C-alpha cells in the first residue's frame, strides 16, 4: 500500500467548534462553520426540494430554521456521461446553491447509494457503480472520479465519498470486500477532489454489523484526516440494539474534533439516542415520506390523520408547535384533505420537518443547560409511556 497524504491537515473549508458537552453521555453541541453557513449541531438535515408534492420550497426550509439541507442528486448522472449537461448546466448556473436559491449549508451524497437502493439494476465493480439510465436504459458508470466531478460542479459545502454500500444485513466476504473497496474509493475521491479549499469531503465508515470490520474501517479512514466522517450502511432493517452498538463503536473510535454524520437516520428515538452517543448530523426522507401517508409526528408518537377519530378534532397537530400548519389548520381539516389533496401532504410535511427541528433544538438546549439526561428521560416517557 502506498502512503497516503492527507488532502488537508487543516480542513480549510470547515471549522468544528464544540461549545458544550454533556458530562454523562457523549453528546456535544457545536457550531459547524461551513462556507455558506454556520450550523448548530446536533442537527437534522431535511432533503431539499424533492421536486414532488413531498418537497418544500427553499423559502419554507429557511422559515423552518433548517441550517443544512441535502441537495438533490437528480443532477448526478441521470443522463449518459457523454451527453450529460448536468455539470455544465450547474457550472453555468453558478452551482446548486444559486440554481435552487438556497443560501445556507448544502450537502450532497455521492449518488451510488441512490443508484443501488433506488435502481435495482445497479452492478458494482472495482471501477464503480454501473446502472441503467432511467430515461433510456443505456448503461452508465458512476466512478469515484465522476462523482467528485459532479459534486464539485454542484458546489455543496459537504460532499460524500462514493462508497460500496451493501445491505446492513449482508455478512461474509461481500461485506468485507465492500468495506475495503470503500477505503480504496475514498482514496480515489481524495485524489479527484478539485476544490478542497471550498468544499469538504466526508468519508463514510462501512463494515455492516461486524465490529472488527468497523474498527478497521475507522482506523484506516481516520488516517486520511478528512474534515468529517459519516457512519453508513445502517438503518436498513437491523435490530436497534445492533444499530446502536455499531454507532457506539464508531463514535468511540472516531476523532473527537471532527463532525460525525449518521446517514439515513431520522426516527426521533434514533436521533435522541445517537446524539447521546456523540453523533452530530442526521438526514432521512422519513419525515416527508411519512407525511405523504398522512402521518404527523408528535412528541407522543405519530398521528395517523386519515383515521376517522380526527374528523371532528379541532385542535392543531401539536398545541405547542409554532409551524405554519399548526398555527392555521386543525386535525379535522387535515383529515378532510390529507388523502385527497397534495396540499394536505405538503402541510403535514411542514409540520414534520418543524417537529424534527424542534426536537434537535431541544437536544442542543438541554445539553447547554446541563439537563440532557432529564431531556432524554422525558422524551422517552412521552414517546413510549411510563416505564421509569
Ligand atoms: N444514505 C444512507 N446510508 C448511506 C450509506 O451507507 N452510504 C451513502 N453514500 N449514503 C447513504
Ligand atoms: Zn406543527
Under DSSP, is residue 347 helix (H, G, I), strand (E, B) or coil?
Answer: helix
Ligand 1 atom nearest 161 alpha carbon? 9
| 76, 156 contact by CB (below 8 A) | no
Q: Classify each residue of 91-113 as buried b or exposed e, where b means 16 or more C-beta atoms within 10 Å of its C-beta.
A: eeeebbbebbebebbbbbbbbbb
Q: Checking phi first, is residue 315 left (phi over 0); if not, alpha (psi -120 to 50) or beta?
A: beta
pLDDT, residue 1, reads: 39
Q: Which of 108-112, 235-239, 297-301 has the highest mean pLDDT?
A: 297-301
- Say which residue the cell 454524520 belongs to: 261
Length of the chain: 388
Average pLDDT, the chain: 91
Of all protein residues, the one whose alpha carbon is nearest to atom 9 of ligand 1 is 113
Active site residue 40: no
Query: How many angstroms separate the CA atoms of 232 and 239, rounded?
Result: 15
- 0.90 surpassed by pTM: yes
Of all protein residues, the one whose alpha carbon is nearest to atom 8 of ligand 1 is 113
- Ligand 1 pocket, residues with Cβ under 6 angstroms: 109-110, 112-113, 160, 163, 165, 204, 232-233, 263-264
The x, y and z cell numbers of residue 342, run together, are: 397534495
Residue 236 has pLDDT above 90, yes or no: no
H or E element: which one contains 240? helix 240-253
Ligand 1 atom nearest 112 alpha carbon? 9
Ligand nearest to the CA of 321: 2
Ligand nearest to the CA of 235: 1
| 127, 143 contact by CB (below 8 A) | yes
pLDDT confidence band for 305 (50 / 70 / 90): very high
State mean pLDDT over 268-288: 97
Closest of 47, 107, 106, 51 to residue 78, by C-alpha: 51
Closest of 138, 166, 144, 7 to residue 76, by C-alpha: 144
Pick 381 or 49 by higher pLDDT: 381
Amino acid at each position: 500500500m502506498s502512503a497516503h497524504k492527507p488532502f488537508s491537515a487543516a480542513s480549510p473549508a470547515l471549522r468544528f467548534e464544540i461549545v458544550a458537552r454533556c458530562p454523562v453521555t457523549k453528546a456535544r453541541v457545536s457550531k459547524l462553520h461551513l462556507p455558506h453557513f454556520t450550523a448548530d449541531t446536533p442537527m437534522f438535515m431535511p432533503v431539499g426540494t424533492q421536486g414532488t408534492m413531498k418537497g418544500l420550497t427553499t423559502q419554507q426550509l429557511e422559515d423552518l430554521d433548517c441550517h443544512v439541507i441535502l441537495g438533490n442528486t437528480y443532477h448526478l448522472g441521470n443522463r449518459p456521461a457523454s451527453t450529460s449537461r448536468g455539470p455544465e448546466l450547474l457550472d453555468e448556473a453558478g452551482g446548486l446553491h444559486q440554481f435552487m436559491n438556497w443560501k445556507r449549508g448544502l450537502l450532497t451524497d455521492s449518488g451510488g447509494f441512490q443508484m443501488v437502493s433506488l435502481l435495482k439494476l445497479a452492478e458494482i465493480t472495482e471501477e464503480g457503480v454501473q446502472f441503467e439510465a432511467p430515461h433510456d436504459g443505456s448503461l452508465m458508470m458512476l466512478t469515484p472520479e465522476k462523482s467528485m466531478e459532479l459534486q464539485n460542479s454542484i458546489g455543496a459545502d459537504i460532499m460524500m465519498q462514493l462508497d460500496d454500500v451493501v445491505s446492513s444485513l449482508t455478512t461474509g466476504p461481500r461485506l468485507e470486500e465492500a468495506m475495503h473497496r470503500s477505503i480504496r474509493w475514498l482514496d480515489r475521491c481524495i485524489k479527484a477532489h478539485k476544490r478542497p479549499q471550498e468544499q469538504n469531503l466526508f468519508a463514510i465508515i462501512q463494515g455492516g454489523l461486524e465490529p472488527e470490520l468497523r474498527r478497521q474501517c475507522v482506523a484506516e479512514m481516520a488516517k486520511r484526516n478528512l474534515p468529517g466522517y459519516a457512519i453508513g450502511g445502517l438503518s436498513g432493517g437491523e435490530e436497534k440494539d445492533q444499530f446502536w452498538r455499531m454507532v457506539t463503536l464508531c463514535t468511540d473510535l472516531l476523532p473527537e474534533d471532527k463532525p460525525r454524520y449518521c446517514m439515513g437516520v431520522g426516527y426521533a428515538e434514533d436521533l435522541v439516542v445517537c446524539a447521546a452517543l456523540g453523533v452530530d448530523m442526521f438526514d432521512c426522507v422519513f419525515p416527508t415520506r411519512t407525511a405523504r401517508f398522512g402521518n404527523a409526528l408528535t412528541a407522543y408518537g405519530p398521528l395517523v390523520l386519515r383515521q376517522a377519530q380526527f374528523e371532528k378534532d379541532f385542535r392543531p397537530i401539536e398545541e405547542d408547535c409554532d409551524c405554519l400548519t399548526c398555527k392555521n389548520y386543525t386535525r379535522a381539516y387535515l383529515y378532510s384533505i390529507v388523502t385527497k389533496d397534495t396540499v394536505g401532504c405538503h402541510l403535514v410535511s411542514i409540520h414534520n420537518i418543524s417537529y424534527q427541528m424542534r426536537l434537535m433544538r431541544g437536544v442542543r438546549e438541554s445539553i447547554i443547560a446541563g439537563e440532557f439526561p432529564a431531556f432524554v428521560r422525558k422524551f422517552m416517557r412521552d414517546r413510549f409511556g411510563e416505564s421509569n
